[in-house]
Structure 1
């Protein structure tokens, strides 16, 4: 299966991956509903997943309305295989082919996600939410990172 666009039928497996992560875990898994996933992949933006043996092991969702990364998660059993990088690349390529508006995301400080985004060319621009680092990727930054 590998990399493909996520659809509504994939939402239960996306939830499994989201709730399996160790970093940036939800304090209450019920906070993000299937309806939220549906809206973000059908109305607000687009999502992709990475599958192995018909099992979703990672996914990403970008919000074209709010200009942010809504989700990028890889199941802990499949870490460090380049899955997150592939999901990140396809998501940013799609987003910046739709608009040149800057894209932002928030992630907890001191996490592997923080290091991942810094290495991928995201720039820290402040704080967001409950102590998360707010990062931004500009169109120009994306062009440079894609080289």
Structure 2
């Protein structure tokens, strides 16, 4: 298992994973374009992938411009193996070397993702849009976290 920075040539596999998830499903696959992915991993922030046997099985992307976790998704066949935790740690460790500003994300309620973020120490701060739960992580909370 290898966690590494995402590259432009990873976008095809990233899109396959994004469209294979069973939670936080896009209402239409074209809502997140290859150009969006390229912008987020090369201009707005950075991304990471998890590779197993040269196949990408998960990815995470953080947006420094909006202080937002843009994506953290796994191939459903690889859930429950600690990959999400490794991607999450890599992403937040890097994020907080770039800024001490709090970071936020939104996720659907009553999902594995919601439970994951609560266990990882994120604080619920309200709603993002009409349905998603909005979570925040401060530098202080991350630096004290056992996940750090």
TM range (shorter): over 0.9
> For residues 129 and 83 of structure 1, what CA distance do their matches in structure 2 show?
28
**Structure 2 counterpart of 1:57:** 57
Residues 41-50 or 127-136, more deviating: 127-136
Q: Provide, for residues 60-108 of structure 1, a one-character-per-residue CA deviation record: whole Å limited to 9, x for no partner.
A: 0000010000000010000100000000000000000100000000000
Residues 1:45 and 2:48 are matched in the alignment:
no
**Structure 1 counterpart of 2:108:** 108
**Structure 1 counterpart of 2:93:** 93
> For residues 58 and 25 of structure 2, what CA distance do their matches in structure 1 show?
15
What SS class does the counterpart of residue 42 from structure 1 fall into? helix
Q: Provide, for residues 11-67 of structure 1, a one-character-per-residue CA deviation record: whole Å limited to 9, x for no partner.
A: 000000100100001010101000000000000000000011111100000000100
Structure 1: runs of 5 or more not aligned: none
Q: How many residues align?
A: 147
Deviation at 1:129, TM superposition (A): 2.0
Residues 1:120 and 2:108 are matched in the alignment:
no
Runs of 4+, deviation exceeding 6 Å: none
TM-score, normalised relative to structure 2? 0.97
The alignment yields a C-alpha RMSD, in angstroms, of 0.9
Structure 2: runs of 5 or more not aligned: none
> For residues 115 and 139 of structure 1, what CA distance do their matches in structure 2 show?
21
> For residues 59 and 76 of structure 2, what CA distance do their matches in structure 1 show?
12
Within-5 A mapping of 1:1-147: 2-146=2-146
TM-score, normalised relative to structure 1? 0.98
